[in-house]
Amino acid sequence: MFIGNFISFVRQFRVDHRCRDLNDLLGFWQEYDFIGLDRDGTLGGHHAPKPDPRILGVLQTISRRTEVVSNCAFCQLVKIRDIYAEMVSASIMVGFGEMGLPHLLRFEKGSGKLRVLRYYPTVGMLCDVTSRLAQGDALFEKPTRIYRKPNPWVLQAVVALAVREGRILARNPRVLYVGDKFFTDVRCANLAGFEAARVKTIGQLSDLREWRIDFVLERLLFDLPIGAILSRLADMFSAH
Smallest gap from Cβ 216 to Mg ion, in A, equals 13
**Residues linked to residue 178 through DSSP beta bridges, in sequence order:** 37, 197
- Which range of residues in 40-48, 99-107, 117-125, 189-197 is near Mg ion by CB under 5 A? 40-48
Of residues 68 and 134, the one with the C-beta less far from Mg ion? 68
Is 180 a binding residue for Mg ion by CB under 5 A? The answer is yes
Name which position in 38, 195, 207, 223 contacts Mg ion (CB under 5 A): 38
Is 21 a binding residue for Mg ion by CB under 5 A? The answer is no
Residue 185 near residue 155, CB atoms below 8 Å: no
- Distance separating alpha carbons of residues 145 and 105, to the nearest angstrom: 12
Of residues 117 and 224, the one with the C-beta less far from Mg ion? 224
CA 122: distance to chain centroid? 20
- Which range of residues in 39-47, 188-196, 219-227, 231-239 is near Mg ion by CB under 5 A? 39-47
Is 40 a binding residue for Mg ion by CB under 5 A? The answer is yes
Counting Cβ atoms within 10 Å, is residue 194 exposed (0-12), middle (13-18) or buried (19+)? buried
Q: Of all helices (H) and strands (E), which one includes residue 199?
A: strand 195-199
Is 223 a binding residue for Mg ion by CB under 5 A? The answer is no
User: Residues 6 or more apart from 173 whose CB is under 8 A from it?
Assistant: 33, 34, 159, 163
Of residues 41 and 102, the one with the C-beta less far from Mg ion? 41
**Residues linked to residue 18 through DSSP beta bridges, in sequence order:** 198
Smallest gap from Cβ 138 to Mg ion, in A, equals 27
Of residues 170 and 217, the one with the C-beta less far from Mg ion? 217
List contacts with Mg ion (CB under 5 A). Answer: 38, 40-41, 180
